[in-house]
Amino acid sequence: MERPWKTTDLRLVLEDGSIWRGKSFGSSGTQVGEVVFNTSLTGYQEILTDPSYAGQFVLMTQPHIGNTGVNFGDEESQQCHLAGLVIRSLSPCVSNWRSQKTLSDYLKERNIMGISDIDTRAITRRLREDGSLIGVLSTDAFKTDEELLHMSRTWHIVGKDLITDVSCTEPYEWKDATSDDWEFSNKVNTSNDTKLHVVAYDFGVKQNILRRLVSYGCKITVVPSKFPASEVLKLNPDGVLFSNGPGDPSAVPYAVDSVRSFLGKLPVFGICMGHQLLGQALGGKTFKMKFGHHGGNHPVRHLPTGRIEISAQNHNYAVDIASLPEGVEVTHINLNDGTCAGLTIPAMKVMSIQYHPEASPGPHDADPAFYDFVQMMSQNQA
């Protein structure tokens, strides 16, 4: 006889040998990924649809998840890209007027596994001490713990090109701006004047990045990750955006070459993965962090002004400040660990930040970065 309550039916096996048993929601099966923790209190739907989480299990440190349900207006892409979701407690009900379905149904439709009723606090402490770990989620009772452990120890994420699978396949034009109901900046361009043309390299771009650029008066052409730089120049853009994206920047040398092709020719703006690729294109190096930055509460200092921004971040790699050549100015640092959070070379009209200016944890501390990029392009036209 079937029990009226859900029993433990899902295992999370980590490469350190630990086994965590919980309850499944979403899809079933067996999936491998890198386990990272995210300290955001809200915004799990944006996290689910952020392409930068490809290949990763996201563990939410906020214990209660799912109470606001899911709505299609908050998606950052057309699908879920993460490998799985790990939470302490799945809300038994949804109470939000914007909700269109439950989190569990949403994940099931998108073939994403979720595990609840496990000690996320203990796993987070383990990740902080040992660093990000490879794990396996499985509802398959016929697979032994040893088989799953072997999977976790033989799967690797470092050195993999994760960008290609999340990028678009053909160029397209993006036209949507931030809706009037959500607009907050008095610097946006709502006129019908000639717009600045920005070509955005899609390494896993979040849609809200594109919305903000349109709001600031830009015409956007999005191109695939391997789109030739020579073809971009034929489009005669006013600037080039290198977007966020998943994985190891050292695994995509073709993207570094693309960034290098525009240096000194056009204003460029790198965000997250784009920032790391820019650091490499300028002659610097990147390194894998112990457990990365994932969350909506990271303090960043803007060094030229001393201004502090509360930022949303999602990255496992960082630019090595010591490796940057002379002439590259570090503009932002993460106040938690002193890592590089922003670069510029004014003479070359280059700028980048390691965090997400389109997100709203501060709530709008980082949004002026879009305005700065627009000003850079406008000055280049003068």
Q: Which residues are catalytic?
A: 272, 356, 358
Q: Where are the alpha helices (DSSP H) in 191-301?
A: 207-215, 229-234, 253-262, 273-281
Q: Residue 208 — φ and ψ, nearest 5°?
A: -70, -25
Going by C-alpha positions, the residue among 57, 117, 121 that lies closest to residue 91 is 117
- Burial classification of residue 321, based on how many CB atoms lie within 10 Å of its CB (0-12 exposed, 13-18 middle, 19 or more buried): middle
Residues 82 and 53 sit within 8 Å (Cβ to Cβ): yes
- Measure the CA–CA gap between 373 and 275, rounded to whole angstroms: 14
- Burial classification of residue 96, based on how many CB atoms lie within 10 Å of its CB (0-12 exposed, 13-18 middle, 19 or more buried): exposed
- Measure the CA–CA gap between 10 and 138, rounded to whole angstroms: 6
Three-state DSSP class for 60? strand
Three-state DSSP class for 302? strand
Going by C-alpha positions, the residue among 127, 107, 85 that lies closest to residue 26 is 107
Going by C-alpha positions, the residue among 50, 64, 36 that lies closest to residue 294 is 36
